[in-house]
Amino acid sequence: MSILRVSGVVAGYGAGDQILKGVDLTVEDREIVCIVGPNGAGKSTLLKAIAGLLELSEGEIRLKDGLISGMKPRDIARHGVAFVPQEHNVFPSMTIYENLEIGGYVDPTAIRKRADDVMTRFPMLATKRNQLARTLSGGQRQLLAVGMALMVAPRLMLLDEPTAGLSPAAAQDLFEEIGRIRTSGIAVAMVEQNARDAMAMSDRTYILVDGRNGMTGASSELLQDKDINRMFLGGH
């Protein structure tokens, strides 16, 4: 069953500036969906629209059977959608634990338990819980950002360029954590600059071109397509 269904979404950053031009997307339960495409294709804009950060001009977004388009971001988060932006996704001058507390704003009564669960999942956060977030490495910051998203107790996690700026080793570690998140029952929709690696660990891939759906299919099959390799993955 689809946990997320995006239908005919048109959205952008102002009148006459529609980045998305009728995009469709579905995410099934316990699925990792990768969204790739050239710069300016609308990948990050799509995640922001799902998270409620952009108003739709046309189309609708449904979570399970409920309409979430038109809701405020806080209410969408309460319905179980957690968005991790590419930048400014932690509070550098606050401790790791304080960041987790902020992540749990949708249900203050559950903050302590959820924070304990997150630190059990990511032991590094537990050992550094009283350190300021600005002392963390890039990979550790991204883990904290993911941990803050887990504080929502999400059914769906939206990740915008999660490995941007990370070393290959840190990126691989983060991909492994994303795989474990899916195994725990949380669906993932991910925009990722390391398209080949992201596709390799995802179930399905959507290729966006100029704000519209390009090709869609099983990631394993699209990775074998010579035209897709040439146009989007740097292959020959």
Q: What is the pLDDT of residues 124-174, one digit of tens each?
A: 999 999 999 999 999 999 999 999 999 999 999 999 999 988 999 999 999
User: Residues near 123 by Cβ (< 8 Å), separated by ≥ 6?
Assistant: none
Examine residue 185 and state whether it is found in any structural domain, yes or no. yes
Examine residue 59 and state whether it is found in any structural domain, yes or no. no
Examine residue 13 and state whether it is found in any structural domain, yes or no. no
**pTM for this prediction:** 0.93
Work out how many domains the chain is built from and give that number.
Answer: 1
Domain that holds residue 163: 31-53+72-232
Examine residue 180 and state whether it is found in any structural domain, yes or no. yes
The label of the residue with tokens 């009564």 reads 109
Q: What is the pLDDT of residues 202-211, one digit of tens each?
A: 999 999 999 9
Q: List the CATH number of the domain containing 163.
A: 3.40.50.300
Examine residue 14 and state whether it is found in any structural domain, yes or no. no
Examine residue 181 and state whether it is found in any structural domain, yes or no. yes
Examine residue 7 and state whether it is found in any structural domain, yes or no. no
Q: What's the 3-state SS for 27-74?
A: EECCCEEEEECCCCCCHHHHHHHHCCCCCEEEEEEEECCEECCCCCHH
Examine residue 12 and state whether it is found in any structural domain, yes or no. no
Q: What is the pLDDT of residues 29-87, one digit of tens each?
A: 999 999 999 888 999 999 999 999 999 999 999 999 799 999 999 999 999 999 999 88
| DSSP secondary structure of 183-236 | HTT-EEEEE-SSHHHHHHT-SEEEEEETTEEEEEEEHHHHTT-HHHHHHHSS--
Confidence of residue 230 (pLDDT cuts 50, 70, 90): confident
CB 44, CB 18: distance < 8 Å: no
